[in-house]
Amino acid sequence: MRPVVVIVGAGPAGARCAELVADGANVTLIGAEPELPYNRVALSKLLAGDLDEAELVTHDAARLADLRIAYRGGSRVLAIDRAGRRVQLTDGDSVPYDALVLATGAQAFRLPVPGAHLPGVVMYRTLAEVRAMLAAAQEGGEAVVIGGGLLGLEAAAGLARRGMRVTVVHAVDRLMERQLDAGAAAMLARRLAAQGIGLVLSASTTAIEGDDMVQAVLLSDGRRLTARMVVMAVGIRPDAALGREAGLAVERGIVVDDAMRSSDPTVLAIGECAQHHGVCCGLVAPALAQAAIAARTLRGEIAAYVPETEATALKVAGAGVWSAGEIEAADAHAILYDDPDGFEYRRFLVRDDRLVGALLFGETGDAAWYQRLIATRAPMTGMRAALPFGMAYAPPDGAFADLAQAAG
């Protein structure tokens, strides 16, 4: 008999896991959102007008049928009955399982300030929330985006392209402080300002004013920013509530081993809700890698998740931004290429003759090559002077040639 696998969460990780195990199991994929499984990472492109909703869908009804995946969209799991091996849904139904995979992702953090729940305050996490942003953008006016990280800047750029007057408020003194150093962040700020996006740094939000709708955002320095829409993009938290309530080991996320098993070997967890060796991932690449390991575990194979060097890539205001490895390190040697007029910036950190961090602003075509240099710990001897100019300037033989071929 084919085992019954239930996967809770139809985001990229859950959908990928379902696809990988469907040939050997009876799979039910449960999604809280009513939509078909879609690419959450591409929501920024929908907001900017670069694709439509149909292009977001990763598994349409025909593909789900071909894979023999039973999809239950718009269904929320109320509880897990580990003893009876069933999940209880909020509509009163229950679904049995032989193995359960939790891919519940993360929840966007809402600032605990007055007015945070007013109509017109939108989180940036789901397709429904992007639809609300698009509807508001049709009427124009001012928008305030709280958060100058990756998601906040994507939201700001998209709304600006839709014709809104956008101001980004960030509590730190530079944008994307987890991915960019001061030089790259300053260049990004100049690029955004040149495209009409206002920036307020080193300022926190104390309240959101309004009666029936948002009217303004109050800042800690006393300023008042007029707005008819506020987008909060100030971080996420692993959605581990189901695991916690079921009695699984939970810290920040659901604690898993290398095979992605929780403290109950019949329950696995992957993606943003999972905590592996103390770390909860926040990017799609490691979440998909965990989905592949979970699928192998469900098939009875021996598999272990090994994190790779995480990289962040995006395009804001027409500029490519990419970083991987360490961003700041006092004990590392920095190699810098800085062309402020051409909006080109590259910074590399080398320690013990190994590349430990890379940051690219503008031209990012060699990003995969730099990531392989970091991952493989290739020696930088004879390479440092050419490093900022990319793969084309690598020595034509030896390890660098092999890495260039692999990256290409």
What is the maximal distance between C-alpha atoms in the chain? 68
User: 4-107+236-298 has which CATH code?
Assistant: 3.50.50.60
Residue 380 has pLDDT above 70, yes or no: yes
DSSP state of 383: T
In this structure, of 58-62, 109-113, 327-331, 333-337, the range with the lowest mean pLDDT score is 327-331
* Cα(58)–Cα(35) distance, integer angstroms: 11
State the average pLDDT over residues 267-276: 98
- The residues that bridge with 338 in the sheet, in sequence order, are 345
Residue 185 has pLDDT above 60, yes or no: yes
Domains in the chain: boundaries: 4-107+236-298, 121-232, 318-407
Q: How far apart are the first and last CA of the chain?
A: 44
Q: Where are the alpha helices (DSSP H) in 212-325?
A: 241-245, 284-298
- The residues that bridge with 81 in the sheet, in sequence order, are 86
Find out whether 152 and 199 touch, Cβ atoms under 8 Å. no
Share of the chain above pLDDT 90, in %: 80
Find out whether 172 and 152 touch, Cβ atoms under 8 Å. no
pLDDT in tens, 151-184: 999 999 999 999 999 999 999 999 999 889 999 9
- Residue 132 CA to its chain's centroid (Å): 20
* Cα(339)–Cα(321) distance, integer angstroms: 15
Q: Phi and psi dihedrals of 326, rounded to 5?
A: -80, 140
Q: Which residues contact 185 (CB under 8 A, 6 or more apart)?
A: 174, 175, 176, 177
Q: Which residues contact 382 (CB under 8 A, 6 or more apart)?
A: 395
pLDDT value at residue 309: 80
Q: Where are the alpha helices (DSSP H) in 263-362?
A: 284-298
* Equal fold, 4-107+236-298 vs 121-232: yes
State the average pLDDT over residues 14-32: 97
Q: Phi and psi dihedrals of 345, rounded to 5?
A: -150, 130
* Cα(278)–Cα(70) distance, integer angstroms: 33
pLDDT value at residue 408: 52
Share of the chain above pLDDT 70, in %: 97
Residue 63 has pLDDT above 90, yes or no: yes
Residue 271 pLDDT grade (very low, low, confident, very high; cuts 50, 70, 90): very high
Compare 11 and 384 and report the one with higher pLDDT: 11
| DSSP E strand stretches across 203-310 | 205-210, 214-219, 224-226, 229-232, 236-238, 254-256, 267-269, 274-276
**121-232: what fold?**
FAD/NAD(P)-binding domain (3.50.50)
Residue 403 pLDDT grade (very low, low, confident, very high; cuts 50, 70, 90): low
* Cα(245)–Cα(265) distance, integer angstroms: 17
Residue 14 has pLDDT above 90, yes or no: yes
DSSP string, 124-186: SSSHHHHHHHHHHHTT--EEEEE--SHHHHHHHHHHHHTT-EEEEEESSSSTTTTT--HHHHH
Of 334, 332, 121, 128, nearest to 229 by C-alpha is 121
Give Rg (Cα) of the chain.
23
**Residue indicated by tokens 């006393």:** 222
State the average pLDDT over residues 346-370: 93
For the full predicted model, state whether its pTM sits above 0.75.
Answer: yes
Cβ-count burial 290-321 (b if 16+ within 10 Å, e if not): bbbbbbbbbeeeebebeeebbbbbbbbbebeb
**318-407: what fold?**
Enolase-like; domain 1 (3.30.390)
Residue 394 pLDDT grade (very low, low, confident, very high; cuts 50, 70, 90): confident
Mean pLDDT for the chain? 92
Provide the token pair at 52. Answer: 């439509």
| DSSP E strand stretches across 296-408 | 311-316, 319-325, 333-339, 344-351, 354-362
Residue 316 has pLDDT above 90, yes or no: no
